[in-house]
Amino acid sequence: MVLRVAIIGSGPAGVYAVEALTRRGDVAVDVFDRSPCPFGLVRYGVAPDHEKIRSISAALGNVLDQSHVRFLGNVDVGSDISLAELRLFYDAVLFASGAATDRRLDVPGEDLLGSFSSTEFVAWYNGHPDAPLDTFTLDARSVAVVGMGNVAVDLGRLLAKTADELRHTDIGDHALSVLERSHVTDIHMIGRRGPVQAKFTTKELRELGEIANADVIVDEAELVLDEASEQLLATRPAAQRNLKVLRDWAAHLPSGRPRRLHLRFWQRPVEVLGATRVTGLRVEETRLDEAGNVVGTGRTATIDAQMVLRAAGYRGVPIAGLPFDDRAGIVPNAAGRVVGDGEPLLGLYVAGWIKRGPTGVIGTNKADARETVASLVEDAQLLPPAPNRDPEDVLRFLTQRDVRVVSWAGWQAIELAESQLGQQRGRARVRISERHELLRAASGAATL
Ligand code: NAP
């Protein structure tokens, strides 16, 4: 009997799970995504100027474009169809839905006007259909970006680049026109620990020094290492490379470019200042204690900022019908098998960030998804067969609910429409952002 599997999420984790499953042979896989477009964070997370990483979508697309795999875009599992309902149509359900929200700073003023999560900003510039186009105006002169991970680096870079440096990408018209009119001159990236502990990778860090209109400013004093950092440095070649880049920058005087990217270390945010709107960020200088934990020194300072972007990491959200580990922000699992009350819940699986937390690069998801699929395949004989086995059944169910499913052909029609829009604008491709526009573009080819 053909094994019928639903995969929720068409980002790298979901697609690598499809790849591993289809190698097995007698499977039929339906991949659901709440966006009309596939590829998850490859489309909606990776920055527009990181074309090489984005080009992974071609390989991911080849996996989805197989005869026994269907893409069901624009379906929100949890509201359009519940997990219990899904199980009427599938022998196994695998969630690869990622980490949908951001980690909070838990400081006063975090929700003032002008304070945003990185997820909001990234979704906006990448034209996610759920992100309002008018969320950002970039009237701020000075922006504080909290965090020293690769997302913070993405935000710093995009704010520092000129619109001309992004025009060759597929960035949406809405974001390009706001970036063109940006008032931002100073971007302060705030790390609560030192340069050795920073999470960014060297390649991404170096790119900050290649921006046409921006100087990178690093204070030599913040690169001085304590004993614990020295010891850590000795074991981390990546941190050694980062430190070299940072020391080079610290040794150079700014060349007077119109924008400045200030990389600050040993500063933790203690309050976002302002009555209704952000007027600054109060930070406290930090150091490591004997146990290696960050502690405040009591010395505070105010960073001039009319906008704060919090890039403190992503966080998984609970999935209705599945257990959730609130501390870790993941679905508890053993090798990808969902675990409830200490026992694996047969037929339910997780892969990617909702399985292990928001860490690693895109390729990390390959081994992660393979592990989950190995568990699923091992269980296959034990799985009670779903009652509705006709592949059309789930489509009829969704149609009755008035859900406009976007098929793979629908996605290909969206791609074509984005290329045509690019031609009209004299650019290679321009992204379509609004859901109704995406559905209109897909409608010519929406049959599965
Ligand atoms: P991340 O790498 O975990 O970095 C989060 C940053 O926020 C860290 O510097 C962390 O500091 C800081 N932070 C956390 N809580 C804080 C708080 N309360 N106050 C101040 N700072 C706080 O997360 P990310 O940048 O969101 O990236 C997620 C994953 O996506 C990573 O694996 C990343 O490499 C990947 N990614 C890759 C690329 C790329 O390859 N180009 C681009 C984007 C994202 P501590 O270290 O002190 O906790």
For 71-119, the pLDDT digits (tens) are: 999 999 999 999 999 999 999 999 999 999 999 999 999 999 999 999 9
Cα angle 117-58-11, degrees, rounded to a multiple of 5: 40
pTM for the structure as a whole = 0.95
CA of 313 to the centre of ligand 1 (A): 5
In the chain, domain spans: 3-100+316-405, 103-314
CB 154 less than 6 A from any atom of ligand 1: yes
Looking only at the bridges linking them, the beta strands covering 294-304 and 307-310 are unpaired
The CA distance from 329 to 357, in Å, is 7
Q: What is the reported pLDDT for 24? A: 85
368 CB-side CA count, 13 A: 26
Amino acid found at 188: H
Going by alpha carbons, the residue nearest to atom 16 of ligand 1 is 312
For residue 259, what are the contacts with CB-CB under 8 A and spacing of at least 6?
Answer: 160, 184, 185, 186, 187, 211, 213, 214, 215
Kindly report the average pLDDT of the chain as a whole number: 96
Atom of ligand 1 nearest to the CA of 199: 2
End-to-end CA distance of the chain: 22
Q: What φ, ψ does residue 309 adopt, rounded to 5°?
A: -115, 125
Q: Is 149 in the pocket of ligand 1 (CB under 6 A)?
A: yes
CATH architecture of 3-100+316-405: 3-Layer(aba) Sandwich (3.40)
Is 407 a pocket residue for ligand 1 (Cβ < 6 Å)? no
Q: Say if ligand 1 is within 6 A of residue 156 CB.
A: no
The residue ranges of the chain whose pLDDT is under 70 are: 445-448
Say yes or no: domain 103-314 is CATH 3.50.50.60: yes
301-335 pLDDT per residue, tens: 999 999 999 999 999 999 999 999 999 999 999 99
103 C-alpha vs ligand 1 centroid, how far in Å?
10
Q: How far is the CA of 252 from the centre of ligand 1 (A)?
A: 27
Pocket test for ligand 1, best of 192, 205, 242, 285 (most atoms within 8 A of CB): 192
- Indicate if ligand 1 lies below 6 Å from the C-beta of 54: no
Compute, in angstroms, the gap from residue 198 CA to the centroid of ligand 1. 8
284 close to ligand 1 (CB < 6 Angstrom): no
Can you tell me which residue has the tokens 């071609």? 58
For the Cβ of 268 lying below 6 angstroms from any atom of ligand 1, the answer is yes
Record the tokens describing residue 272, joined without a space.
């976002």
Q: Whose CA is nearest to atom 22 of ligand 1?
A: 312
What 356-359 contacts at long range (C-beta under 8 Å, 24+ apart), as own/partner pairs, is 356/330, 357/99, 357/316, 357/328, 357/329, 357/330, 358/98, 358/99, 358/313, 358/314, 358/315, 358/316, 358/329
CB 372 within 8 A of CB 355: yes
Give me the pLDDT at residue 445, please: 64
With a 6 Å cutoff on the Cβ, whether 310 touches ligand 1 is: no
Residue 153 in contact with ligand 1 by CB distance below 6 A? no
Closest residue by CA, ligand 1 atom 18:
105
The response to whether residue 105 sits with its C-beta less than 6 Å from ligand 1 reads yes
Which atom of ligand 1 lies nearest, measured to the CA of 50? 41
